Each structure stands twice: as C-alpha cells, then as structure tokens.
Amino acid sequence: MTPEGVYAALLTLYPRAFRETYGDDMLRTFREWHGTSRLPSVRFWRVAITDLMSSIWREQIDACRFGVRRFALRWLAICALGIIGTGLIATLVTWVFAYLYHPYLEGLQLTPWSYGAFLGAGLGLAQSAALRHRLQTAVSWVAVTSASAAFGFHLAALAATVIGPVGCGIAMGAVVGACQWTMVAASQRVQRRRWPMMASALSLPIAVILCDALIRRALGGMNPVPANIQATATPASYSSAIVTLVRGLQQPHGWTDFAFELAAMSLAGLTIGTITARRLSEARGAH
Amino acid sequence: MKLTRAEFHVLLALQHGSRHGYGVMQDVETLSQGRLRLGPGTLYTAIKRLAASGLIVECEPDAERRRCYRLTRKGRALATDEARELSDLVQVARKRGLLPSPS
C-alpha cells in the first residue's frame, strides 16, 4: 500500500461531514508534505499519525456535541429511556394492582402482545414528545409504535426459549424500528397531506382494538403470565425465557428478573434508535 | 473566542495574503522557526474552526486548483488582540526577570 493509500484509509476515521469537506485537501496536503519532508520515514509517520489521532479525537467529540450525531445520540437515549421508563411504570402499576388484589380479578391474564402494545404506546409518547417540532402525525406515530411493539413482542415471545430475554428485546426493537423507519420513509415520499390521513386510517382502528383488549385484560396484572407459560416457570430454572422477561416487566421476583428487564428494554430501545436515527435526522429538514 | 496556539499561527500565516493548506503549513514552520510543525490533521481542524467563526474565508483556488484561505477583518482584529495580549505577557515576564530586558 502506498503512503497516500495508508493516509487515505486513516482519513476514514474522521466524521463523514468533516471528511467530505476537507478530506481531499488533507490528502493533497499530505502528498506535498510527504514529498518534501526531510524527516526519516519512521519519525515522519510518528508525527503524521500523532497529528491525525489528536485531530480525529477532537473532530469525533465535536461531531457528538453538534450536528447530526448529536441528534442521533439524543435519539438513542430517548428510545432507550422511553422504553425502560414504560417498563418500570408497568412494574409499578402491577405492584399497585397486586396490592389492591380482589378475588374477582383472579384468573385474568395479560398476553405478551398486550404488554408490547403498552410498552410501544409509552415509547411512542416519549418519542413524539421529543419530535414534537418535527412530527406532524403524533397520533399515528404512537399508534404505529404501539401496534408494531405488540406484534414485535408477541413474535419475540414465540421464539423466547431460543433467543432469551435479551434476544426478545432486540427482536421487538427490530420490528418497531423497521415500522417507524417505514413510516418516516413513506411520509417523505407521499405528499404530506395524504400520508397522515392514510396512516391514521390504518393505524387508529388497530390502536382502538388494542386499547379495548388492554382494558378488558389489563386488570389481570397480578396474574400476568399466560397459563401455559406459567406452568413451565419455576424459580430455580428459567426454562422459558419469556417468563423471566414478563416477570421482570410485571412482578420481578428478584434482581435477576429486574436486570433482564432492564437489559432487554434498553437493547430494544437502542435497536429502535439505531434503525431510525439516520432517517429521522434526514427528515428534520423536511418538516 | 479563545485561540489555540495552532489557530493563532494559522492567522499569522494568512496575515500576508491568501494561502492553500500546504502553504500555511510551511509558513507556520518558518514563523515558529521549526518549533511548531502542523500536520494536515491539526491544520484542517484549525481551519474548520476559524472558518466557522468567520475569522478566515475560502477564496479562489490557485492555479493547481488548491483551495485557498484568507483572513477576514474579524480574523485580523482577533489576531491583533491576541498578539497584543502576548506582547503584554512578554513585558510582564521581563519585569519579573524571566526574560532579559532588550538592550
């Protein structure tokens, strides 16, 4: 590899915006510098690499403090904290239900998809609050998030024994992130007026059905794990991973359940944020 | 805006007219008598910050199509202030005996 090739490869460590503006000039300056330098080769490269590394570090910090990357970091934090916060609220609500126990409520159950819908609604609300200046379709956003989280969580629950609680979080995050990404992409393509109408028409009935199901089933918080899953759950052996996660969300038996909940939810939030960050940062100007 | 050592040297190098990146690098080495060697990384980080603050602007490319920069009025004023501050500091250093008085 030529010295210029090595230097060009090192330039890729700069943030893209900086590289696009100054990359060519830097390479040309390096070429002239390398061609005229009287320093011995080893010393020249020591100076060049030290110079590059200190500058790359500064530019990377700058890129996180300003510009697109700042938005991406904030977005990741919102996604992770939004879904963790909703998970914690769910846990708190369940404890309150357990405290106000009444025999009439015994036997009511909350299915995995309704947990997902609840988590998605909380996440969607947190996200739409953060995007309030850019998002013209907050209701559709929350509805799409809630519906996709319900589907994603149910899907994850089906594969829970294979992928584990953390895998459940990532799977749910991937489904929600993909749906949100599609929504933003579609809103950029379709005329602004038509898209909110279409999205509302599609997503609101889903949300209404979910809410109805939630209201009828949500009171089963004190007995939240479906019977077939409950049968396989024992404190000593977490044979069914979804039990651990659901119990972590609803009634953690200990720090292990709680830690699994936090890990799964934060990974779900980070997965969503990673998928949607770029599309949303590009969409900023459009709104 | 507080200038770093490299940024002040870039402004000094551009005091006598527009320069391209490598020209600034050479000038800085000459001005500092070889004590400060800017690599392309430090140089373009400084250029980016100075341009963003309106202290330098990009001008017409030279014959070899290299991007050139020149000082703005604001840049010149800031460089003058910085030089004055450094000069005052040198006076204080002389008074305190850190530097010999000019004969």
pLDDT at residue A180 tops 90: no
Cβ of residue B39 closer than 8 Å to a chain A Cβ? yes
Q: What tokens does A257 get?
A: 């359940």
Q: Which chain A residue's Cα is nearest to B42?
A: A55
Q: Which residue has the tokens 């739409």?
A: A128
**Which tens digit of pLDDT belongs to each residue from B62-90?**
777 888 999 999 999 999 999 999 999 99
- Map residue A66 onto helix, strand or coil: coil
> Which value does ipTM take for this structure?
0.88
**Which tens digit of pLDDT belongs to each residue from A24-41?**
999 999 999 998 888 888
Task: Compute the radius of gyration of chain B from its Cα atoms.
Answer: 15
Of A3-17, A101-115, A136-150, the poorest mean pLDDT is in A101-115
Residues in chain B: 103
Mean pLDDT of B21-25: 92
pLDDT, greater one: A21 or A160:
A21
Residues in chain A: 287
Segment holding B6, helix H or strand E: helix B5-14
> CB within 8 A of A43, min separation 6: which ones?
none
pLDDT at A212: 52
pLDDT at A279: 80
Q: What residues pair up with B59 in beta bridges, in sequence order?
A: B68
pLDDT, greater one: B19 or A285:
B19
pLDDT, greater one: A183 or A135:
A183
Q: What tokens does B62 get?
A: 């030279």
Q: Which chain A residue's Cα is nearest to B21?
A: A29
Q: Which chain A residue's Cα is nearest to B47?
A: A22
- Map residue A88 onto helix, strand or coil: helix
Share above pLDDT 90 across residues of chain A, in percent, rounded to a whole number: 14
Cα gap A155→A134, rounded to integer Å: 31
Backbone angles phi, psi at A28, to 5 degrees: -65, -40
Q: How confident is the model at residue A225 (pLDDT cuts 50, 70, 90)?
A: very low
pLDDT at residue B49 tops 90: yes
Contact A25 B67 (CB under 8 A): yes
Contact B21 A51 (CB under 8 A): no
Backbone angles phi, psi at B69, to 5 degrees: -130, 150
DSSP B102: P
Query: What letter represents residue A68's amino acid?
Result: V
pLDDT at B89: 93
**Which tens digit of pLDDT belongs to each residue from A229-247?**
443 333 333 335 555 556 5
pLDDT at A89: 80
- Map residue A191 onto helix, strand or coil: coil
- Supply angle C-alpha A137, A71, A278, rounded to 5: 70
User: Which candidate from B25, B37, B45 shows the least CB-CB separation from A29?
Assistant: B25
Cβ of residue A33 closer than 8 Å to a chain B Cβ? yes
Cβ of residue A18 closer than 8 Å to a chain B Cβ? yes
pLDDT at A105: 60
Cβ of residue B44 closer than 8 Å to a chain A Cβ? yes
**Which tens digit of pLDDT belongs to each residue from A155-175?**
777 777 677 777 888 888 888
Q: How confident is the model at residue B99 (pLDDT cuts 50, 70, 90)?
A: confident
pLDDT at residue A269 tops 60: yes
pLDDT at A196: 59
pLDDT at residue A215 tops 70: no
Contact B21 A29 (CB under 8 A): yes
Q: What residues pair up with B19 in beta bridges, in sequence order?
A: B69
Cβ of residue B21 closer than 8 Å to a chain A Cβ? yes
pLDDT at A73: 85
Cβ of residue A30 closer than 8 Å to a chain B Cβ? yes
